[in-house]
Structure 1
Amino acid sequence: MLIRLGYEIAFRLPQPTSMLVTLNIHDSRRTDIVIGQELRALPGVPMRQYHDSFGNTCTRLHAPAGLFTLYADAVVQDYGQPDPVAPDAREVPVDQLPDDTLLFLLGSRYCETDQLVSMAWDLFGATPPGWARVQAICDYVHNAIQFGYQHARATKGAVEALQEGRGVCRDFAHSAIALCRCMNIPARYCTGYLGDIGIPPVDAPMDFSAWFEAYLDGRWYTFDARHNTPRIGRVLIARGRDAADAAISNSFGFNTLEKFEVWTDETDDPTLSPRVPVPPMPLGYALT
């Protein structure tokens, strides 16, 4: 299966501004790129890439004052199957976890485990450990939070999302991650592309998506508390402890977001033929 994906994000900058962006497809999917170029800038500026401690491709640049646009357009190959489901996957005791998973047991900026641990054990302590427990957490979060772009807030963590019962995809992910960590299950945040593939079309602007991975039975499995069903066509951009580690852009100076458009569509065309425009994301809700 082929997926055409990309974005156009425009900023109005009152002065030259340094930026750090994480918008390239994750290295684990780079060999799936059929055609297209990743991060480009208009006007063009020097860019330098590096890999952060989570393996994400980050780009440093210094943008000029005025209108500054980041964009990409590509076609990628995908295996076209829903997220794997492994109902028999077992929890790994903490003393047997690999060293590099232990970080994902700890609280982080948006996943406040210290405030949720008692609730988590009350809710899920009697749930069979392993896959069933993670799925029970997803079920709980899915039902506890109402999705809506108008509920986005950059400072909102898992505690406030669960208290308010409203949020966007990252709030679902943060809440489920925090509850998994409370139950001693390593969980990490993911962001990337997820189009309306294999489901009825959704009448809403496209955005980047957020989900999470839980470590069970010696490997990482994908879970999605917002959609709460296996989905087709996820294309990873970045992972981390939470959204602070996987922010698609950080600007070190004042700016105004002027355009935010994302596309992720199944295609049978392996070329970058002219694309049918799609409605942009309402600017008040973008980059959340």
Structure 2
Amino acid sequence: MTVHETTALGVPAKNASPEAYDFRRPTTLAREHARVLEMAFDTFARQWGTQLTAKVRVLSQVTSERVEILSYDEYAAGLPAVTGMVLFNIPKVEAKAVIQFPTAAALSWVGHMLGGTGQRVSPERKFTQIEQALLGRIMDDALDDLHYSLGTLLRAPMTPSSIQYNSQFAQAAASADPMIVATFEMVVGETVAPATVAIPSEALLPQLDPVGSAPSKTPPAELIRGQLAHVPVKVLLQLDDITVKPAMVLNLAVGDVLNLGHARHRPLNVTVGGRRLAHAAAGSSGSRLAGVIVSTEENNL
């Protein structure tokens, strides 16, 4: 199908070139899918920035800018001709994942790691063996952060494959293969550089697709009870409350005595959220005070 560019009023724009649309491949992410991925890559950005600060020993920050789905050809076309591309293998997926960044920026990171100023004095070029070894440590941390951030979205762990320097000849995937592409801004010291992470969509989308997930057979009420059972709550040991007039409260002074309605021999009230659930006698557990439950009450919560 051929799609023509239109104006805001829906009239075909003059001199607009038609653009082919392939209905077999989605060009946008579903809103709920995009939100999940954005949160995952935001987490990755924060983790990676922290790891870079520790490795490079200068203040570093990574910010996630956008997440989109592109064909590999579209992704590669948007990259500089000469750039650093670390390729990663994914089990049972032919296409490779990519972490991309300018080589000049990477060289400045290496300069910081070696005790230099990190100023970008070198042009875009290939890394030496020593530089590759140092960058390998940064990529190992980035890969760990990526696995942590994606969690169950990435079932199979990725492993490093190779480093490429030409975006047009890297061939991490077939031209039409859809890729989940996240774009970042990296600030390492005074160096600001763009970076991208591209992961084959077939490695992530199946975990995002609600149709592919088997519905739970457990009744919703049981699921809610199961979750509530693990929610922390405050348990209080209390005396019976008393009613006093505001004048007494306003005139309280050191040495005043309040007569409580709680008998001395009665156990304390065990309350949760203002509801009395049990009675407990004062006791001890080692060096700490404790409440020993002596009776419980029926409560229909």
Give TM-score scaled by structure 1 length: 0.23
Give TM-score scaled by structure 2 length: 0.22
Q: Which has the larger radius of gyration?
A: 2
User: More relative contact order in 1 or in 2 (CA 8 Å, sep 6+)?
Assistant: 1
| Structure with the bigger percentage of helix | 2
